């Protein structure tokens, strides 16, 4: 604390990201990264972009917006790009979610949302997931200015079908609905195809998970033009160049290498299914995940005990000491080998 702090800084409760260990040999299943490398075409594109480091990057990242637009069959001016989807979400909070009525999001969800509410002074209400940890769209029938849902939800991994999102949009024509699709590529249905019909929908996605580029920091939003314009206005009042020229080149190559994307995603989905089976056999209840992680609790061991025991065995998973979920572990789906080491470590403990 210091007398130089702006008043708002005193009241912030910053987000705590998952640990990035320094030592080698750790099985790192705690931050939902992709266990496979990005496409070799990404690495080649980044290498050739180094020629342009002397220059400022394109502030509009037009090549990337065009590549994303072509991939998702929208217009380039319906795409906004930012430095990771966290930044896209932050701009969304500032540009579109500061209203008198509260923003609604689930009680168990991505823990950055309340942090942004603190930073941008957004009023919010948490809507409890049902007893099976599912989002029930009927529970969102209450006064609000906007609704924010990750789909699949994090950390549960449970997804809503596109029909349910469309019903939510239809029930709330005068409220913005933001769908955070950070994990959608691992088996859930994207809401992007609903953007043309719904002016109240903003879909946010990331290159960090299914495209294995968490370190490059690229995220994007797709929505009708007036929503994108609001994000651009905030971005151009904050940082004209959120994506550097290496990130733009790498992300374009990642979007263009669809074969790599499909193949690595398929491996992860297959590993998820074997991981669920192995955990269930060891006495875990595993929520039905369509993400690149599973959320599971053991019938007789506490979450804290399991997380600590795994750490001793050099396996990192994520544990949240929070009401309703303190007994769960969030386990990123790794390679077959990493999942095997996790299962061996659990077997050794129970």
CB of 265 to ligand PLP, least distance (A): 16
- Take residue 38 and report the two structure tokens written for it: 């990005």
Q: How many residues bind ligand PLP (CB under 6 A)?
A: 13
Tokens 């702006």 correspond to: 6
Pick the closer one to ligand PLP by CB: 32 or 145: 32
Binding to ligand PLP, residues 195-234 (CB under 6 A):
206, 208, 214, 219
If one asks whether residue 110 binds ligand PLP (CB under 6 A), the answer comes out as yes
If one asks whether residue 145 binds ligand PLP (CB under 6 A), the answer comes out as no
CB of 303 within 8 A of CB of 297? yes
Q: Tell me which stretch binds ligand PLP (CB under 6 A): 66-74, 81-89, 122-130, 278-286.
A: 81-89
Rg of the chain in Å (alpha carbons): 20
Longest distance between any two alpha carbons in the chain, whole Å: 58
* Among residues 78, 86, 185, 257, the one that binds ligand PLP under rule CB under 6 A: 86
CB of 206 to ligand PLP, least distance (A): 3
Pick the closer one to ligand PLP by CB: 190 or 208: 208
Q: Tell me which stretch binds ligand PLP (CB under 6 A): 78-86, 235-243, 260-268, 309-317.
A: 78-86
Binding to ligand PLP, residues 285-324 (CB under 6 A):
none
Q: Cα–Cα distance between 337 and 321 in angstroms, integer?
A: 28
If one asks whether residue 102 binds ligand PLP (CB under 6 A), the answer comes out as no
Give the per-residue contact string, 18-47, with ligand PLP (x = CB under 6 A; - = no). --------------x---------------
Q: Check residue 121 and give left, alpha or beta (phi > 0: left; psi -120 to 50: alpha).
A: left
If one asks whether residue 154 binds ligand PLP (CB under 6 A), the answer comes out as yes
* Among residues 30, 39, 85, 292, the one that binds ligand PLP under rule CB under 6 A: 85
Pick the closer one to ligand PLP by CB: 181 or 257: 181
Q: Tell me which stretch binds ligand PLP (CB under 6 A): 84-92, 117-125, 134-142, 238-246.
A: 84-92
* Among residues 180, 185, 244, 257, the one that binds ligand PLP under rule CB under 6 A: 180
Pick the closer one to ligand PLP by CB: 84 or 303: 84
Pick the closer one to ligand PLP by CB: 239 or 309: 239
- Take residue 193 and report the two structure tokens written for it: 């195809």
* Among residues 150, 223, 303, 334, the one that binds ligand PLP under rule CB under 6 A: 150
CB of 85 to ligand PLP, least distance (A): 3
Q: Shortest CA distance to 157 belongs to which of 275, 251, 310?
A: 275
Write out the residues near ligand PLP by the rule CB under 6 A. Answer: 32, 84-86, 110, 150, 154, 180, 182, 206, 208, 214, 219
């Amino acid at each position: 604390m210091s007398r130089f702090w702006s008043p708002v800084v005193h009241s912030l409760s910053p987000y705590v990201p998952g640990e990035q260990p320094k030592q080698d040999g750790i099985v790192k299943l705690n931050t939902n990264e992709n266990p496979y490398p990005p496409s070799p075409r990404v690495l080649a594109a980044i290498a050739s972009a180094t020629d342009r480091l002397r220059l400022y990057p394109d502030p509009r990242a037009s090549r990337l917006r065009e590549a994303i637009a072509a991939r998702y069959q929208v217009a380039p001016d319906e795409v906004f790009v930012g430095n990771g989807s966290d930044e896209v979400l932050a701009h969304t909070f500032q540009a579109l979610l500061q209203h008198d009525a509260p923003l609604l999001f689930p009680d168990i969800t991505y823990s950055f949302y309340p942090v942004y509410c603190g930073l941008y002074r957004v009023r919010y209400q948490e809507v409890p997931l049902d007893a099976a940890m599912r989002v029930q769209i009927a529970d969102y029938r209450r006064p609000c200015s906007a609704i924010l849902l990750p789909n699949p939800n994090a950390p549960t991994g449970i997804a809503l079908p596109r029909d349910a999102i469309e019903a939510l949009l239809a029930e709330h024509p005068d409220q913005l609905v933001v769908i955070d699709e950070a994990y959608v590529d691992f088996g859930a249905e994207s809401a992007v195809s609903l953007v043309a019909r719904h002016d109240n929908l903003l879909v946010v996605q990331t290159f960090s998970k299914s495209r294995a580029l968490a370190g490059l920091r690229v995220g994007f939003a797709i929505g009708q033009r007036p929503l994108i314009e609001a994000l651009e206005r905030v971005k151009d009042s904050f940082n004209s160049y959120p994506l550097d020229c290496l990130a733009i080149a790498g992300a374009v190559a990642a979007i263009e290498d669809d074969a790599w994307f499909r193949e690595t995603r398929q491996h992860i989905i297959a590993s998820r299914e074997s991981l669920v089976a192995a955990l269930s056999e060891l006495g875990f209840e595993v929520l039905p995940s369509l993400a690149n992680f599973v959320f599971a609790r053991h019938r007789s061991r506490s979450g804290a005990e399991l997380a600590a025991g795994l750490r001793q065995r050099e396996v990192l998973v994520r544990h949240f000491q929070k009401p309703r979920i303190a007994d769960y572990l969030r386990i990123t789906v790794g390679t077959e080998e990493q999942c095997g080491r996790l299962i061996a470590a659990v077997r050794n403990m129970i």
